[in-house]
Structure 1
């Protein structure tokens, strides 16, 4: 397996300035060509760099890596040996030379290189792994040593998997299994890595092997459930999810068993009538959330899943909650179906029957209306809204509850760190809140000044005390798509907010998300403008002017960045609407200058005159 260091070495001291500049430029061109897959060009540039400066160690090293990558092991060996002649104490070169020799069948020489690397740096895990693998090939490892080197391979495989280097991770996991065929952890992680490469059949084989080795490994069942659902094998998916959840969560197992024994056929319940009212905050009205009668113990949590039509992610989303379900006395789960054409009752019930309360509205209430109905129906002390394409990670509810039970009554909402994830659930980036507050756990200082300018948190990471909604109302239907931001600002004006920095939720970014559609239609900037105007009526006078001005500047730039989305889609009308609303958000001279700079970019050049004439006619430039 490949344990070759790829990173360029630290630059060496050059003899004179001219040679340094020339050789350095050639070296960088070589690296760039290699990154772009232009391997012949890369070799040409690296060779030229060496000719210009024969003692450039990093160029010899990179040339060795390049030749190794294309299977030229003998010439790679020459390059590595030349680098070591210049700088004999570089661990990575000894390690890479060893693996190159091993590829040529020179195992004893390879072992000597690995041992030299470890003499220089005893904790070099790559050299340790390569040494163990080479000794294993010669049948020189005891069972205890095989277990040790298997663990090392698994650890490095996990590190490469987390870094996104799936191919190398797979090689490490396979070698770990060669050394320890019954390694549950390595087999499970191999399945995870293979599924990331869409090699689903091999992944299934791995997860089935894990279950054979350890029938209590619930996560393997859940992974099988995900794969079967992707393959549209619904019965297999449901069975795997149920088995996995029963294995992981005794509360779930008990509830499912009781429901199975009852086995009563059900029809999809219709949403009960809700008394409507309004709450006035500032100069705006919001839907009232009714208070609850004092009728005894209430659950700590209500989890609300608003759903409509989409089925791609719902089982996985529900599984993430059900795995943490602490029983009906502690958590109620509500699924609110917004009049889907084909009711989602059977799908939800397939893994949540006896636990989840499902309601289907007779007519579509809109995205915001659906959420507000969920708030009105909720009984929990704290409410968590979780859209079906988002997810929570293990520990979300227990960790938040532990903090919330000990926080002062001034706290009206809380949120965790979160990741942006893609359609496959892979991390794209850290959520915005992570970069602003880092590991600062507790009540956030100056939170209103931050959230007042832009939305730093995402729905799946947020929980709100029900009494907060009873006092301030629900979400504003007028500003769909940006209603959460306005709600979080409203809360920040009247309550403290608690931050739990651990990454415990995932917000999925994909083309079918409502927000993406709102940018394509050009409707979101109007909602942003109205959110700023609404908030301006209730912000504290001390901060109102500063927060509003910063918010207008920030969101003008935000709109300009996203105007390219409908423009690239050929939707001139939506592009114009975004620009028009952006100038309503901020019509300062600085904003107008930025608009003209935006119009000078390549994508907008051929539409510039049309857009300018439209803006002039609509009297937004004056």
Structure 2
């Protein structure tokens, strides 16, 4: 191990970049050498709080104040911990010890005031808040907390109640954004006390409770918001999400239908006719091949009966057994459905055995064309079948665990209606969400350099290097598919990126910058499974080889070289994620595949530098032998 100071510095860096497992290992190694090292105890306490391990956090934070009783930071953080657990007497004691140790900051006085307020010692609490405001006049929390006490003492006018309600809401949003849900919830609740007829306060409280998985309380809050405002789709959608998580699909269907009937008159008119969704056997489709570059891809047949009227949109929803998210996925499409003349919705059931048809019929009725394959044809062929059956000018493949936001189709249709023929695909901004629908981060096209509305510039040089768009945010002109084919069956885990490159090599892409789609990341997804088995890394290399054959000659070598370097690093990051999850075999498979993607001296040096770190000790000899075997 490096010196203790160097090790601690590395651990702090890991913690700041959310590499918590690596940081934790380093802290424990420091404590093996020096069991009472205060910075290691303090760092572990903070880390355990980040990981939500409250009991372990308490042990380390209490240990560090015993070892280093005169450091005010230790008492302050311990006080915050006690307060988060509603242990207010202990919080007051810790904050007062922080004051004795020399801390005299606005946050300390504010937090002490809050603990005293919860103990009913209002005069002392006001004194602490006023001290915080003396030190920092802009301390909004202290100002709001004084107002909340004045309200409890019935000393606020109606105008000031409105004023303080808005400030409580603002603070709730700020605390929630920082992950401080307990205080966020408290501020939202106080905002509701001050202004009980404000639906946004009830909605914000519901969101915070939902993200804390306090579903029963969240449902109560959302229902109150719905009483105050029945015109907001997000309320219906979040209630539906909760019922899905609880596997209460009957209630999920009911709340989605209620929202759709209220907000989409086209849906309401159709459903009132009680037309059912019938199961159709997927027709036989002759699957030819189309050659692009040196490779062949599944052909998409030309439109049958092109003289007949056709919708602008075809939405293809491939399904197989899973019912976890299908209602949310479908409901958010139905919200934007403007009639059969504008949009057809095709659900392609890949010979699943679960009763998905009943769920879809109960929500969508005959709006949906439901096809069931006579046998399982694989997920990629299932998508291509849906595209082949489509009649829309533009095709949107939407997997059952993803979803679109209100305005997705309207924004795109407005732009694409008269766009140049050179535009073969279009995408919107998107975000990644977790199993429970919580936003995790913005998608790559939205989080990098800002992209304006319109045709994407220098797009091939960007999409050719790495994947920037996920399927739910992408629509493709049907004639583009007819010319270039569908998704490749040879690389099923990365065929979306390959198709994106194929299209960008021949067509322009249109971009709508708003965040209008959601891609779900969860442990049961095909993407997660492909990394766990190491297949993804192998197929990334194949995707690079395939696109090299059809990229324009003047850009081919430059784009491919950049793609190799970028995806070597991408695979290396995922290899160590697999290692941290205890999957040594996947780690080795991914590293070996990464070395096939790029063997430049720079990439080899990057690998060796990574292997030199403490958490890679179990890999060094094995990887070295693999490198020798590869004759690099």
Pair 1:80–1:506, CA change in 2 (3 A): same
Pairing of 1:223-622 with structure 2 (within 5 A): 223-258=238-273, 260=274, 262=275, 267-292=278-303, 293-342=305-354, 344-405=356-417, 407-564=419-576, 574-595=586-607, 605-606=617-618, 609=621, 613=625, 620-621=630-631
Partners in 1 of 2:127 and 2:314 — Cα distance? 62
Task: Judge conservation of contact 2:61–2:74 (CA < 8 Å) in 1.
Answer: no
Partners in 2 of 1:95 and 1:495 — Cα distance? 58
Partners in 2 of 1:604 and 1:113 — Cα distance? 49
Task: Judge conservation of contact 2:349–2:373 (CA < 8 Å) in 1.
Answer: yes
After TM superposition, give the deviation of residue 283 of structure 1 in Å.
1.5
After TM superposition, give the deviation of residue 536 of structure 1 in Å.
0.9
Pairing of 1:77-88 with structure 2 (within 5 A): none
After TM superposition, give the deviation of residue 312 of structure 1 in Å.
0.9
Question: Which residue of structure 2 aligns with residue 39 of structure 1?
Answer: 61
Partners in 2 of 1:253 and 1:452 — Cα distance? 44
Task: Judge conservation of contact 2:346–2:369 (CA < 8 Å) in 1.
Answer: yes
Indicate the SS of the match to 2:279.
coil
Indicate the SS of the match to 1:437.
coil
Q: Which moved more, 1:415-424 or 1:291-300?
A: 291-300
Task: Judge conservation of contact 1:68–1:76 (CA < 8 Å) in 2.
Answer: no
Aligned length: 581
Question: Which residue of structure 2 aligns with residue 208 of structure 1?
Answer: 223
Task: Judge conservation of contact 1:525–1:559 (CA < 8 Å) in 2.
Answer: yes
Question: Which residue of structure 2 aligns with residue 48 of structure 1?
Answer: 70
Partners in 1 of 2:109 and 2:98 — Cα distance? 8
Task: Judge conservation of contact 1:29–1:45 (CA < 8 Å) in 2.
Answer: no
Q: Which moved more, 1:203-212 or 1:117-126?
A: 117-126
Partners in 2 of 1:414 and 1:350 — Cα distance? 32
Taking structure 1 as the reference length, the TM-score comes to 0.83
Pair 1:165–1:573, CA change in 2 (3 A): closer
After TM superposition, give the deviation of residue 329 of structure 1 in Å.
2.1
After TM superposition, give the deviation of residue 144 of structure 1 in Å.
3.7
Q: Which moved more, 1:434-443 or 1:171-180?
A: 434-443
Pair 1:300–1:46, CA change in 2 (3 A): farther
Q: What is the Cα-based RMSD across aligned positions, in Å?
A: 3.4
Partners in 1 of 2:314 and 2:220 — Cα distance? 37
After TM superposition, give the deviation of residue 79 of structure 1 in Å.
6.7
Taking structure 2 as the reference length, the TM-score comes to 0.82
Give CA deviations for 1:473-522 in whole Å, capped at 9, x if unaligned: 11111111111111111111111222222222221111211122222222
Q: Which moved more, 1:381-390 or 1:578-587?
A: 578-587
After TM superposition, give the deviation of residue 595 of structure 1 in Å.
4.9
Partners in 1 of 2:119 and 2:630 — Cα distance? 72
Task: Judge conservation of contact 1:81–1:97 (CA < 8 Å) in 2.
Answer: no
Pair 1:29–1:521, CA change in 2 (3 A): closer
Indicate the SS of the match to 1:298.
coil
Partners in 2 of 1:118 and 1:187 — Cα distance? 29
Pair 1:128–1:604, CA change in 2 (3 A): closer
After TM superposition, give the deviation of residue 458 of structure 1 in Å.
1.2
Task: Judge conservation of contact 1:150–1:180 (CA < 8 Å) in 2.
Answer: yes
Q: Which moved more, 1:430-439 or 1:359-368?
A: 430-439
Q: Which moved more, 1:203-212 or 1:463-472?
A: 203-212
Task: Judge conservation of contact 1:439–1:501 (CA < 8 Å) in 2.
Answer: yes
After TM superposition, give the deviation of residue 556 of structure 1 in Å.
2.4
Task: Judge conservation of contact 1:30–1:46 (CA < 8 Å) in 2.
Answer: no
Indicate the SS of the match to 1:563.
helix
Give unmatched runs, 5+ long, in structure 1.
1-25, 51-57
Task: Judge conservation of contact 2:78–2:91 (CA < 8 Å) in 1.
Answer: no
Pair 1:249–1:46, CA change in 2 (3 A): farther
Give unmatched runs, 5+ long, in structure 2.
1-36, 49-56
Pair 1:122–1:406, CA change in 2 (3 A): farther
